Amino acid sequence: MVNIKIPDNPQYQALTLTLKTLKRKRGPTIEALHRAQEIFGYIPEEAMYLISKELGVPVSTIYGIVTFYHFFRTESIAKYLVNICQGTACHVKGADKILRIVSDELGIKVGETTPDNLFTLSTARCFGCCGLAPVMIVNEDIYGNLTEEKAVEVLREYKKKEENN
Ligand code: FES
């Protein structure tokens, strides 16, 4: 895991921001792992490496914690993680309505996965791109300035893509 390249995208930028704050606290590893799982829906290897680097905790220790606690996942359970920001800027711009319509469209609640394992629905506090509020991220694709109609359209595009595969 030593030479892993950390992707430069809003998800990793959000995690880096959290890690910089956590560095100043005592025993921040578990909180960092929770934040990583909130952002990605699971804890990718790159996130473990980034936490290790930023907090100065050996990767082996982090891996040990992740495998010890059953609530941490190391693999994505669905093909698409639909993550809807519920941070302040997004909230002000109607993120709750986006979450409601996405939940209805997928037929699942936050933390659940569709029976076909295509979508897992998740929420996060802030992706660090508040200028695009309200924001939804599907895997690594960012959708900003969302309306309820646009959110449904985006999801239907993913569904259509899967039907054509
Ligand atoms: S509050 Fe949603 S991206 Fe910052």
**CATH code of the domain containing 146:** 3.40.30.10
Does residue 53 sit in the same domain as residue 24? yes
Does residue 84 sit in the same domain as residue 156? yes
Task: Name the residue range of residue 64's domain.
Answer: 10-68
pTM of the model: 0.70
- Cβ–ligand 1 distance for 127 under 6 Å, the answer yes
pLDDT above 90: residue 58 = yes
Distance CA 28, CA 120 (A): 27
pLDDT tier for residue 165 given thresholds of 50, 70 and 90: confident
- Which residue type does 87 have? G
Does residue 97 sit in the same domain as residue 148? yes
> Ligand 1 pocket check: which of 9, 17, 90 to mutate, most ligand atoms within 8 Å of Cβ?
90
pLDDT for res 2: 63
Does residue 87 sit in the same domain as residue 63? no
Ligand 1 atom with the smallest distance to the CA of 89 is 1
Q: How far is the CA of 39 from the centre of ligand 1 (A)?
A: 12
- Cβ–ligand 1 distance for 85 under 6 Å, the answer yes
Token pair, residue 108, equals 């699942």
Distance CA 94, CA 76 (A): 27
pLDDT for res 77: 75
Does residue 16 sit in the same domain as residue 51? yes
Torsion angles phi and psi, residue 25, rounded to 5: -100, 170
Domain count, the chain: 2
- Cβ–ligand 1 distance for 95 under 6 Å, the answer no
- Which residue type does 106 have? L
- Cβ–ligand 1 distance for 135 under 6 Å, the answer yes
Does residue 113 sit in the same domain as residue 93? yes
Between 44-48, 112-116, 131-135, 140-144, the lowest mean confidence (pLDDT) is in 112-116
Torsion angles phi and psi, residue 88, rounded to 5: -60, -50
pLDDT above 80: residue 27 = no
